[in-house]
């Protein structure tokens, strides 16, 4: 599956009115272009995505713009450069990138082509240059780049360029990349960067791009945002009313513009659920595949929508209905659906959180197999924790004892869930020890340490926050918070959510 889509574009290769590539899809009825040029372009991108760089280069070489058409010539240079990057012929690629810049500095398409070609070939240093050019010279085009494409790059930024990488994230947030429906994560990260730099004015200016209630909650309870709390509180509104309304409004607007877009529906359902409008989220079940046959043909976005409706059912107190939805989604035979690993784990998570250990035990083997094949290290550790908790709670101590060493050996893959697994088994001393070791680990990567600190403060809230339902380990978490060392760490890193900003009860 491709991470993003390339628009079908047209190239006017000859004639006095040749304009080069359009930045949005164009049909042959809208522009007079040779049929073979459009067909060549489609074949070019197909070959590029399949990593057949020689074939892509040969196809690009078949395009011959009029000598006076500088834009067309620049575009072909960009196409060829992208193929050369895949072939690791860097000197030729650099020459063509410079040529495209010289011939048509006002045209963005060579840069977008090089950005995509660089990412297809995992040439992240070239992707960094291309994205920086887009942001600086074509911010409107940069803003419209696919979220998956840019997200893929941001997960693979060049090492040793922390200042430049941080500056790029801030710049993307400032131009509104991803909008408020899809860009919360980026804006929140940029706010973090600016707050650490002491630029509170700049950080506060990005708050309108954050309308995810959970993200706002994190900012309200994490002390590293304390200087921004008045601004965040204003963004949230009493009992999160303002951010909930904003979140739903932006997602709804995007969905209504493209109701057939499965990704927009997914975002809308999730926004409704996180805003506490559970019945409205559940009502959108009518828009989703409802039979085994339909689910078998569904895409990942539709599957995530089913997942989120199931979560809404669970939060509405309809746990059995939620489990039935998960069962249908997870058990229907599907080809190339490794992404279901998250949904398979989510089903087990809810059963364990509800203390339904007999039913959870039945799913352990299948969930473990799915995580081993398709899951990340984090996902695999979630399953170890759920397995240890389930076996311990069923009194199957010998089996749990066999899981425990492996779970502890992988604690760094998912520290807070590992702590909760220990608490589920009544091992509060070990949970405290692991928590303090993780908080005080001098070798921990800053991003991972920050994530654990966020999870730690959120888990120890006296009242569950958005979508954080009570679970089998909630009483143990309260007891853990009573330990002096844990209490001191919590006081250093966070605070209890002020009562006036606790979300109103979902319905």
- Can you give the CATH number for the domain in which 104 is found? 1.25.40
Q: Which domain holds residue 314?
A: 258-330
Same-domain status, 50 and 106: yes
Q: What confidence tier does 507 reach under pLDDT thresholds 50, 70, 90?
A: low
In a domain, 468, yes or no: no
Distance separating alpha carbons of residues 507 and 484, to the nearest angstrom: 37
Query: Is residue 140 located within the same domain as residue 166?
Result: no
Is a pLDDT exceeding 80 seen at residue 108?
yes
- Give just the sign of the alpha carbon dihedral 112, 117, 119, 125: negative
Q: How confident is the model at residue 283 (pLDDT cuts 50, 70, 90)?
A: very high
Which SS3 state, helix, strand or coil, does residue 222 take?
strand
Least confident of 183-187, 310-314, 496-500: 183-187
**Mean predicted confidence (pLDDT) in 205-216:** 92
Check the CA dihedral 446-449-453-458 and report its sign.
positive
Q: Are residues 126 and 167 in the same domain?
A: no
Do residues 28 and 114 share a domain? yes
Q: Does residue 490 lie in a domain region?
A: no
Distance CA 279, CA 270 (A): 12
C-alpha distances in Å from residue 235, one per residue of 205, 213, 349: 11, 10, 32
Question: Are 173 and 36 found together in one domain?
Answer: no
Nearest to 418 by CA among 465, 366, 380: 380
Contact indicator for 473, 423 with CB cutoff of 8 Å: yes
Q: Is residue 400 part of a domain?
A: no
31 and 79 belong to one structural domain: yes
Q: Which of 10-14, 233-237, 270-274, 450-454 is the least confident region?
A: 10-14
Task: Assess contact for 85 and 108: CB atoms under 8 A.
Answer: no
Whether residue 237 is found in the same domain as residue 300: no
What's the whole-model pTM score?
A: 0.83
Q: Is residue 89 pLDDT above 90, yes or no?
A: yes
Q: Domain count of the chain?
A: 3
Tell me how far apart the terminal alpha carbons of the chain are, to the nearest angstrom: 37
Rounded to an integer, what distance in angstroms lies between the CA atom of residue 265 and that of residue 89? 42
Out of 33-42, 97-106, 126-135, 163-172, which region has the weakest mean confidence (pLDDT)?
33-42
Question: What's the whole-number mean pLDDT along residues 3-9?
Answer: 40
């Amino acid at each position: 599956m491709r991470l993003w889509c390339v628009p079908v574009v047209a190239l006017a290769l000859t004639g006095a009115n040749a304009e080069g590539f359009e930045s949005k899809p164009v049909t042959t009825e809208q522009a007079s272009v040779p049929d073979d040029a459009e067909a060549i372009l489609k074949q070019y991108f197909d070959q590029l995505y399949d990593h057949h760089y020689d074939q892509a280069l040969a196809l690009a070489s078949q395009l011959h713009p009029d000598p006076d058409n500088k834009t067309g010539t620049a575009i072909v240079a960009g196409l060829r450069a992208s193929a050369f990057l895949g072939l690791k012929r860097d000197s030729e690629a650099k020459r063509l990138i410079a040529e495209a810049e010289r011939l048509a500095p006002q045209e963005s398409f060579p840069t977008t082509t090089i950005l995509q070609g660089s990412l297809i070939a995992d040439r992240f240093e070239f992707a960094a240059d291309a994205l920086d050019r887009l942001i600086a010279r074509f911010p409107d085009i940069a803003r419209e780049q696919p979220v998956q494409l840019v997200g893929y790059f941001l997960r693979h930024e060049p090492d040793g360029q922390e200042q430049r990488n941080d500056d790029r994230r801030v710049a993307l947030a400032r131009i509104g990349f991803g909008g408020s429906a899809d860009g919360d994560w980026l804006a929140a990260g940029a706010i973090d960067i600016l707050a650490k730099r002491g630029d509170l004015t700049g950080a506060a200016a990005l708050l309108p791009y954050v309308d995810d209630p959970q993200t706002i909650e994190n900012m309200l309870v994490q002390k590293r945002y304390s200087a921004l709390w008045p601004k965040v509180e204003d963004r949230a509104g009493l009992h999160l009313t303002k951010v909930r309304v904003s979140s739903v409004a932006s997602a709804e607007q995007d969905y209504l513009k493209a109701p057939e877009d499965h990704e927009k529906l997914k975002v809308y359902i999730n926004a409704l659920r996180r805003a506490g409008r559970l019945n409205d989220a559940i009502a959108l079940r009518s828009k989703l595949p409802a039979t085994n046959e339909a689910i078998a043909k569904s895409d990942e976005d539709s599957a995530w929508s089913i997942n989120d409706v199931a979560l809404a059912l669970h939060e509405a107190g309809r746990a059995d209905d939620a489990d039935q939805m998960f069962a249908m989604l997870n058990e229907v035979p599907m080809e190339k659906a490794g992404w279901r690993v998250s949904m398979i784990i989510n089903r087990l998570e809810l059963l364990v959180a509800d203390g339904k250990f007999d039913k959870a035990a039945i799913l352990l083997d299948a969930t473990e197999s799915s995580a081993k094949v398709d899951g990340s290290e984090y996902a695999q550790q979630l399953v170890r924790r759920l397995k240890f908790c389930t076996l311990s709670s069923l009194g199957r101590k010998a089996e749990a004892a066999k899981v425990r060493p492996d779970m502890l050996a992988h604690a760094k893959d998912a520290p807070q869930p590992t702590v909760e697994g220990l608490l589920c088994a009544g091992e509060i001393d070990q949970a405290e020890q692991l928590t303090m070791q993780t908080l005080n680990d001098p070798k921990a990567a800053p991003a991972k340490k920050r994530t654990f600190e966020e999870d730690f403060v959120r888990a120890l809230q006296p009242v569950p926050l958005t979508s954080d339902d009570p679970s089998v380990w909630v009483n143990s978490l309260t007891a853990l918070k009573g330990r002096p060392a844990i209490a001191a760490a919590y006081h250093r890193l966070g605070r209890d959510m002020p009562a006036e900003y606790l979300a109103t009860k979902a319905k």
